[in-house]
Structure 1
């Protein structure tokens, strides 16, 4: 696992990491892929990045630690969360899932009404699982994928790793780095406000939805950032995921489809230090918030863009989610049918890696100045996971009870997974529990 941490750190900084210790075995998560190693490495990388910011504040970070069992719990966090002792409701909509096609399998993502409508429209069927299954069964998987995507939905044929490697998008992903970081404008060096936490005084504007982006924001909040999550009152939410991933964040609504809402967003960006967004590539640019506009609006901003399939290639603007990307890129492939990862590892790992990239860019902004852009994708994280090799697929029986803590929230008393990653110089934690969506004003705290 040390090699995995050092490899990620080199991708982020082109240097060697500071002192760190890893504990635990990889059998805490089942399956042939080294998911526990990827989870532990991504958590270690984010914690090491936080430690580098402590050094800029002349605080000794100490030896960073990451444990595989705690990492596995963190990657299960949405499943382990309890509200007043009650577990989460089902997170998959009735039509979401894997369907057998005439020549293979296809995954349909229907957790949002517009995506369910796209499936029904693209296949020409009513909104029942039996009708969808019958329509899929009579047609090739690739034809189903094309019909649903063309209708504005999210779907993927189950491809083998070899098929993905030969696919134009698979080739595009293989040409991209795990993390892209580059200056996109001039700006003076940042002066850090006094704080005993890595991200104290740093304002993060989060425009994200499930799951990688919210995880990244949650990590930044645990290291002291003022994170303001921006949503919209009319958009649907998967409440179980919101309750879990909005720990330590404030939450507001801004209607970006109105002139007034876009004006409000400009004011928020003009005073932000980080913009973390997971809109489909090109969506923000179409409403006036492209990279050049952002760099002009807030010189010194760190812009973090997360996507499903990367920023190059024919699928660069395609909608995608963890379960869909696993089907497309061969990770879920087996001869018997779809065999997904034991957790939504592409989402969680991308979130932790994005937090590490953001903190690394903030450090560069302090030392070198400039406006910075970092980019990551679920498909890129999948390629990295694949590169780590394989393990014995057996998994041990694991208990997580001692890794849970309680906190008050807008939803009730939460039982949640403690923040993972040890940083002796400033142990990460959330200052408060999840707030109800939209309860905060769209302003920065003084």
Structure 2
């Protein structure tokens, strides 16, 4: 099924189908799920790595074999970092989770303080899990979902796959392309300072994304040499995932409501090769950085956007996260039914985020090929919900047997330690290998806002 999913994904990039013949799948193991999660990991990482191989061909190299490790791909969909002598913060706050409603199940996403405040305001209760559970139980699910969203929060009613497929938003998403490319301009075929072993070396990538798909994408790009600069607003943090996703990047803060910071950002945007962003459709417009302004400032910019619930339909632009989309599109309900459980059963990892992240990276690389070889500037749009459709349309055959994924061992980690600002750590070996272009990162993970907002190249990673 890994080959089948990769064959389903690859046409979205409009690259030669013959490239698929150079892919070798190695390793064993399967994430425990009623969905083909490991196959999705292999296919999405494989598409991104194979796109890099095709970029190398466009840069004059001969086609190199590409290998994807099934075991490592599965593990990179969870945690790639193992702290040594320190602990990672928890992924979820005390309120986030699944709650029974008066007529079903609801998931509240409350990791961000303003989302937690919105959920509590809709419920009219105190910040205590038991109190929240009692309050949720009194509400019909659909009414509560709308109430939380009206307050600016994030929530999702659990639906079945059949209900989602019949829902106007589910139908709209199913009709969208996996990656929606558009050609927006003819531009000079401007190269970047790549080298034979670092096909993205010197590429300037401006990262305006949050948890989790966008940061996964830009981490992958940094692994092949891209100069990634992540920009966050003052006060924003996502401690549970920062050590995981800031690998290879520089992270700065700017307040785009302040004139001085806007001047800095304008210069960064004008000089960027790539912009990856996950803002709502109107958010950048409100800040004065709408599509027309971005294109005027930087005509050759590769502009890639992602959202949760798709780009068309009545719920397009709705705030959302992987765990919420799993509830909406029937993944959690299908797992619950198949397992005979009495509560929602989500995927074992945030697979929609990770897979969409690698597909974003693949879209960026495809757009680089178009700029380098065809003199075209492309934009691309992706969504978690459309990636979910790819997964739910690819259910494993009944009775399919597979090897369970064994726990990570010493052999799964790079031999050198990564010296982060929190302490030493080990990082999993890369899940993909391209002959002649190893995936490696020039900077250890760091906290948000750790550097200044400029395009200074990343320093070498500290290892021993």
TM-score with structure 1 setting the length:
0.95
What is the rounded CA distance, in whole Å, between the counterparts of 2:402 and 2:344 in structure 1? 18
Aligned to 1:98: 98
Q: Cα gap change, 1:56/1:186 in structure 2, threshold over 3 Å: closer, same or farther?
A: closer
1:341 aligns with 2:352: no
Contact 1:185 1:295 in 2 (8 A): no
Contact 2:92 2:240 in 1 (8 A): no
Matches within 5 A, 1:15-414: 15-18=16-19, 19-25=22-28, 27-77=29-79, 81-196=81-196, 197-235=198-236, 237-333=237-333, 334-335=336-337, 336-391=342-397, 392=400, 396-401=404-409, 402-405=411-414, 406-414=417-425
1:422 aligns with 2:433: yes
Contact 2:181 2:380 in 1 (8 A): yes
What is the rounded CA distance, in whole Å, between the counterparts of 2:231 and 2:107 in structure 1? 29
What is the rounded CA distance, in whole Å, between the counterparts of 2:353 and 2:58 in structure 1? 30
Q: Cα gap change, 1:313/1:282 in structure 2, threshold over 3 Å: closer, same or farther?
A: same
Per the alignment, in what secondary structure is the counterpart of residue 146 of structure 1?
A: helix
Q: Offset at 1:94?
A: 0.5
Contact 2:72 2:431 in 1 (8 A): yes
What is the rounded CA distance, in whole Å, between the counterparts of 1:275 and 1:397 in structure 2? 36
Q: Offset at 1:425?
A: 1.7
Q: Cα gap change, 1:239/1:363 in structure 2, threshold over 3 Å: closer, same or farther?
A: same
Q: Cα gap change, 1:395/1:128 in structure 2, threshold over 3 Å: closer, same or farther?
A: farther
Contact 1:6 1:17 in 2 (8 A): no
CA RMSD of aligned residues (A): 1.6
What is the rounded CA distance, in whole Å, between the counterparts of 1:165 and 1:59 in structure 2? 44
What is the rounded CA distance, in whole Å, between the counterparts of 1:397 and 1:212 in structure 2? 23
> 1:8-52 CA distances to partner (integer Å, 9 max, x unpaired)?
111111530511111244x52011100000000111111011111
Per the alignment, in what secondary structure is the counterpart of residue 37 of structure 1?
A: helix
Deviation larger for 135-144 or 413-422: 413-422
Of 432, 439, 443 in structure 1, the residue corresponding to residue 443 of structure 2 is 432
* Number of aligned residues: 442
Gaps of 5+ in 2: 458-464
Per the alignment, in what secondary structure is the counterpart of residue 206 of structure 2?
A: strand
> 1:314-348 CA distances to partner (integer Å, 9 max, x unpaired)?
11111100000000011111343311001100000
TM-score with structure 2 setting the length:
0.92
